[in-house]
Amino acid sequence: MSNYHIKNLEEYFQVYRRSVRNPENFWEEIAEEHFLWRKKWNTVLSWDFTKPEVKWFEGAQLNITENCIDRHLVTRGEKTAILFEPNNPNEAAEHITYRDLYKRVNKLANVLKAKGIKKGDRVCIYLPMIPELAVSLLACARIGAIHSVVFAGFSSTALATRINDAECKMVITSDGSYRGSKMIDLKGIVDEALEECPCVENVLVVKRINSEINVVQGRDQWLQPLLDEASDECEAEIMNAEDPLFILYTSGSTGKPKGMLHTTAGYMVYTAYTFKNVFQYRENDVYWCTADIGWITGHSYIVYGPLANGATTVMFEGVPSYPDYSRFWQIVEKHKVNQFYTAPTAIRALAKEGLSHVESSDLSSLKILGTVGEPINEEAWHWYDDNIGKRKSPIVDTWWQTETGGIMITPIPFSTPTKPTYATLPFPGIQPALMDAEGSEIKGNQVEGRLCVKFPWPSMARTIWGNHERYRNTYFSTFENKYFTGDGALRDEVGYYRITGRVDDVIIVSGHNLGTAPIEDAINEHPAVAESAIVGFPHDIKGNALYGYVILKDTGESRNHENLRKEINQIITEQVGPIAKLDRIQFTQGLPKTRSGKIMRRILRKIASNDISNLGDTSTLLNPEVVQGIIDEVLV
Could you tell me which stretch among 268-276, 400-408, 546-554, 574-582 binds ligand WTA (CB under 6 A)?
400-408
Using alpha carbons, list the distances in angstroms from residue 127 to 95, 169, 346, 435, 486.
Answer: 20, 16, 22, 40, 30
- Which of 290, 326, 401, 415 forms a contact with ligand WTA (CB under 6 A)? 401
* Partners of 312 in beta bridges: 286
Q: Which of residues 409-468 bind ligand WTA (CB under 6 A)?
A: 423
Distance of alpha carbon 375 from alpha carbon 528, whole angstroms:
37
DSSP string, 406-427: S--B-PPTTTSPP-TT--BSBP
In the complex, minimum distance from the CB of residue 177 to ligand WTA, in angstroms, rounded to a whole number: 21
Using alpha carbons, list the distances in angstroms from residue 463 to 11, 124, 401, 552.
Answer: 34, 19, 14, 39
- Which of 72, 208, 348, 502 forms a contact with ligand WTA (CB under 6 A)? 502
Does position 292 interact with ligand WTA (CB under 6 A)? The reply is no
* Residue 220 neighbours by CB under 8 Å, 6+ apart: 202, 203, 205, 213, 214
In the complex, minimum distance from the CB of residue 188 to ligand WTA, in angstroms, rounded to a whole number: 27
Does position 346 interact with ligand WTA (CB under 6 A)? The reply is no
* Residue 487 neighbours by CB under 8 Å, 6+ apart: 399, 450, 451, 499, 500, 501, 502, 503
- Which of 305, 320, 375, 405 forms a contact with ligand WTA (CB under 6 A)? 375
Using alpha carbons, list the distances in angstroms from residue 593 to 19, 443, 515, 596.
Answer: 46, 34, 19, 8
Could you tell me which stretch among 326-334, 483-491, 564-572, 605-613 binds ligand WTA (CB under 6 A)?
483-491
- Which of 132, 175, 487, 520 forms a contact with ligand WTA (CB under 6 A)? 487
Q: How far is CA 263 from the centre of its chain?
A: 16
Count CA within 13 A, CB hemisphere, residue 119. 11
Nearer to ligand WTA, 65 or 398 (CB): 398
- Tell me the residue nearest to ligand WTA as measured from the CB: 402
Distance of alpha carbon 38 from alpha carbon 49, whole angstroms:
29
In the complex, minimum distance from the CB of residue 512 to ligand WTA, in angstroms, rounded to a whole number: 7
Does position 505 interact with ligand WTA (CB under 6 A)? The reply is no
Does position 274 interact with ligand WTA (CB under 6 A)? The reply is no
Does position 400 interact with ligand WTA (CB under 6 A)? The reply is yes
Nearer to ligand WTA, 234 or 499 (CB): 499
Distance of alpha carbon 532 from alpha carbon 591, whole angstroms:
8
In the complex, minimum distance from the CB of residue 602 to ligand WTA, in angstroms, rounded to a whole number: 18
In the complex, minimum distance from the CB of residue 307 to ligand WTA, in angstroms, rounded to a whole number: 18
> Is the distance from CB of 402 to CB of 267 less than 8 angstroms?
no
Q: How many residues contact ligand WTA, by CB under 6 A? A: 22
Judged by phi (left if over 0) then psi (alpha if -120 to 50, else beta), residue 310 lies in left
- Which of 12, 154, 399, 422 forms a contact with ligand WTA (CB under 6 A)? 399
Nearer to ligand WTA, 23 or 257 (CB): 257
Distance of alpha carbon 195 from alpha carbon 197, whole angstroms:
6
Nearer to ligand WTA, 166 or 499 (CB): 499
Does position 408 interact with ligand WTA (CB under 6 A)? The reply is no
Could you tell me which stretch among 142-150, 200-208, 330-338, 393-401 binds ligand WTA (CB under 6 A)?
393-401
Nearer to ligand WTA, 490 or 508 (CB): 508
Longest pairwise C-alpha distance within the chain: 76
Could you tell me which stretch among 38-46, 291-299, 438-446, 558-566 binds ligand WTA (CB under 6 A)?
291-299
Could you tell me which stretch among 175-183, 201-209, 368-376, 628-636 binds ligand WTA (CB under 6 A)?
368-376
Q: Which of residues 243-262 bind ligand WTA (CB under 6 A)?
A: 250
Does position 82 interact with ligand WTA (CB under 6 A)? The reply is no
What one-letter code names the amino acid at 614? Answer: N
* Residue 418 neighbours by CB under 8 Å, 6+ apart: 394, 395, 396, 397, 411, 424
Nearer to ligand WTA, 191 or 385 (CB): 385
Nearer to ligand WTA, 3 or 513 (CB): 513
Using DSSP, state whether 348 is helix, strand or coil. Answer: helix
- Which of 163, 197, 508, 591 forms a contact with ligand WTA (CB under 6 A)? 508
* Partners of 222 in beta bridges: 205
- Which of 23, 370, 373, 429 forms a contact with ligand WTA (CB under 6 A)? 373
Closest by Cα among 192, 187, 228, 226 to 209: 187
> Is the distance from CB of 428 to CB of 26 less than 8 angstroms?
yes
Nearer to ligand WTA, 325 or 497 (CB): 497
In the complex, minimum distance from the CB of residue 381 to ligand WTA, in angstroms, rounded to a whole number: 11
Does position 345 interact with ligand WTA (CB under 6 A)? The reply is no
Measured distance between the N- and C-terminal CA atoms of the chain, rounded to whole angstroms = 66
> Is the distance from CB of 418 to CB of 432 less than 8 angstroms?
no
Site mask, ligand WTA, residues 293-322, x = CB under 6 A? --xxx-------------------------
Residues of this chain that interact with ligand WTA (CB under 6 A) are 250, 295-297, 372-375, 397-402, 423, 485-487, 499, 502, 508, 513
